Structure 1
């Protein structure tokens, strides 16, 4: 971003969802002329909220510990307009249907003072929301 253009548009706003609460902050800035929207996106992924810090070492640890690749989980979904506007969202709860089976991914933010039991319950609640959405969809005629 150009020097002095970065600003916090909203700070630690609590968003309420069916199974969890999220603290959300919005940050904006003007891209330098030589930086494309895709350059900016590539620089932000994987998001620190889903990888940890320091990012490179955290990603190495994730690669060592996780037996299943994250695929879309932790990536971004969005659009790039013909004018260069880019709007994306992080995939923080995902489901993939393959060979008639649903594979869901969700996670929690593990920090130094995390309590393992709480983190497990939080992750189960998040994944539970994905499965509940699938159950509701399956209950609809011709949903898929």
Structure 2
């Protein structure tokens, strides 16, 4: 009986850990996250949809955050550990509506990366990729 209870508890702990990892909203430096904005995603201020990710960054880093989509015009916004706006970007260039934000970090901590879709309706939903890369550690 005691052995069965230990097995059940171990399997329960494994299930909880796996479930928590599967829904993990964290973005990790150097890894590409594939996501989707749809009509169940949180509304953004501009009429589109949005999703937030947490990103751990060290102090005095130069970081590049890109959001790409073939389905909608992405906007990437970065908030600091205290909730302050650090920077945002809508379009990389004249002919590229994908977003690329390059900015420095002042302090170490957990930053919030927000992906917004520009526009509304069907043009504000679809698949996207998000990636954060440390360009330099000063």
| Higher helix proportion (structure 1 or 2) | 1
Provide TM-score, normalisation by structure 2.
Answer: 0.27
User: Which has the larger strand fraction?
Assistant: 2
- TM-score where L is the length of structure 1: 0.26
